[in-house]
């Protein structure tokens, strides 16, 4: 890795790159504490802060990794790594490029350095929207899975596929994922409940019109019936 050369700039069409060589101080030895406290910072053990870009939207950094050679522009000025003030992603990308297979453990070193610098236990978190619903009860979770199967016409054995199990284990790791036998039983109970509701609705209506449709699929015969009832001066489909 010692002979590798990494370009410490973003692509030339980036506005920060055009001003990369122009920093606040001539010496380039600007303390990170001199910058705005709201700006993100890169770990000082991996990068040296050289100042701000001309438009103040990014910081300029010099990579301290052994073997990372600093390139220069045609006019002889150094080409520093440009890192936007609201994200350290470019710094992380550049640093981890020295160890693409993580043989040196740079990924873990980076994470520990950021935790130490920011005081946060997690490098990145996905925050739930304030209006999102947290599934806390097993019964609610089972109903959502059954609704997913019914609405999209998905076979019951889908709940036993490895991909579905992995997705649900990440979405609700504190809840149990049952097999198709369980959801078959749950489906029958739901059908019986809806059937009873339909009967009650038809008993209470005074007028109704029916439409019947018959078809076959996979050597099976099906019969569907749609009922329109008159209620509250409007037609309702059941």
Write out pLDDT tens, residues 27-47. Answer: 344 444 444 556 778 888 888
What pLDDT shows up at residue 160?
Answer: 92
What pLDDT shows up at residue 238?
Answer: 60
- Look at residue 179 and tell me if it is in a domain: yes
Instruction: Report pTM.
Output: 0.39
Interval 127-171: pLDDT, tens? 444 444 566 788 888 999 999 999 888 999 999 999 998 988 888
Domain identity same for 31 and 97: yes
What pLDDT shows up at residue 237?
Answer: 64
Q: How far apart are CA 223 and CA 216, in angstroms?
A: 9
Interval 174-223: pLDDT, tens? 888 899 999 999 999 999 998 898 888 888 887 888 899 999 988 889 88
Q: How far apart are CA 16 and CA 11, in angstroms?
A: 9
Q: How far apart are CA 77 and CA 176, in angstroms?
A: 60
User: What is the average per-residue pLDDT within 98-127?
Assistant: 73
Domain identity same for 187 and 142: yes
Q: How far apart are CA 114 and CA 55, in angstroms?
A: 26
Interval 43-67: pLDDT, tens? 888 888 888 887 778 888 889 988 8
Domain identity same for 35 and 104: yes
Based on DSSP, count helices (H) and strands (E) in the chain, helices before strands. Answer: 6, 6
Structural domain count, the chain = 3
Q: Torsions phi, psi of 81, nearest 5?
A: -75, 130
Q: How far apart are CA 36 and CA 93, in angstroms?
A: 23
Domain identity same for 19 and 114: yes
- Look at residue 218 and tell me if it is in a domain: yes
> For residue 160, what are the domain limits?
133-204
Q: Torsions phi, psi of 83, nearest 5?
A: -125, 120
Confidence of residue 104 (pLDDT cuts 50, 70, 90): confident
What pLDDT shows up at residue 192?
Answer: 92
Q: Torsions phi, psi of 91, nearest 5?
A: -70, -40
Contact of 206 with 200, CB cutoff 8 Å: no
- Look at residue 4 and tell me if it is in a domain: no
Q: How far apart are CA 216 and CA 236, in angstroms?
A: 28
Higher pLDDT pick, 21 / 120: 120
Q: Which two tokens stand for residue 60?
A: 């300029």
Domain identity same for 93 and 19: yes
Domain identity same for 142 and 64: no
What pLDDT shows up at residue 3?
Answer: 46
Q: Which two tokens stand for residue 184?
A: 């078959």
- Point out the least confidently predicted range of 4-13, 71-80, 119-128, 168-177: 4-13
Q: How far apart are CA 128 and CA 141, in angstroms?
A: 18
């Amino acid at each position: 890795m010692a002979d590798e050369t990494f370009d410490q700039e973003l692509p030339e069409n980036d506005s920060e790159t055009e001003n990369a060589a122009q920093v606040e101080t001539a010496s380039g030895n600007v303390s990170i504490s001199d910058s705005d406290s709201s700006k993100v910072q890169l770990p000082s053990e991996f990068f040296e802060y050289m100042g701000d870009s001309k438009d103040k939207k990014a910081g300029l950094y010099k990579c301290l990794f052994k073997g990372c050679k600093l390139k220069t522009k045609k006019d002889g000025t150094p080409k520093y790594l440009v890192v936007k003030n609201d994200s350290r992603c470019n710094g992380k990308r550049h640093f981890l490029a020295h160890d693409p297979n993580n043989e040196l453990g740079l990924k873990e070193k980076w994470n520990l350095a950021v935790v130490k610098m920011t005081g946060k236990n997690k490098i990145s978190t996905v925050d739930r929207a304030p209006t999102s619903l947290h599934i806390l009860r097993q019964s609610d979770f089972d109903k959502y899975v059954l609704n997913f199967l019914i609405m999209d016409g998905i076979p019951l054995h889908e709940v036993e596929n490895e991909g579905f199990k992995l997705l649900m284990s990440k979405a609700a790791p504190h809840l149990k994922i049952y097999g198709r036998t369980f959801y078959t039983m749950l489906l029958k109970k739901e059908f019986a409940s809806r059937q009873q509701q339909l009967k009650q609705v038809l008993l209470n209506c005074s007028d109704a019109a029916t439409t019947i449709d018959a078809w076959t699929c996979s050597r099976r015969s099906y019969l569907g019936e749609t009922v329109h009832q008159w209620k509250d001066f409007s037609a309702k489909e059941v």
